[in-house]
Amino acid sequence: MTASLRQRLPETRGGSTHKIKCGKVTLYVTLNLDADGNPMEMFIHADEGWQGWADVLALTASVALQHGADFATLMKKWRGLRFEPDSIQAFSIPDAIARCFEETKT
């Protein structure tokens, strides 16, 4: 199997930060874009007790995006995931993030 090459990001990159509620958990998700406006890097700041989990999710998404994964496909895979914390607005933290970016179209 051949490994895909990692796309290097520019020193300065644009992006946006979204505040997302998932049950009692508040997330601040930053999505940075490459020069063509494609999502290439994600950072998540989560409430106490959730930061380690959020770091793993963001790091995995960033590595996948920088190796050629399609952002819409990632969000489609996250959409509908169910596990704690359960809430009325979202099934899980990945689902809440996917719903946010689905609504904002990035």
Domain 15-104 has CATH 3.30.390: yes
Query: Is the per-residue pLDDT at 67 higher than 70?
Result: yes
Task: Please say whether the beta carbons of 95 and 79 come within 8 A.
Answer: yes
Rounded to two decimals, what is the model's pTM?
A: 0.78
Model confidence at 88, pLDDT cuts 50, 70, 90, reads very low
Sign for the CA dihedral angle at 62, 63, 68, 71 comes to negative
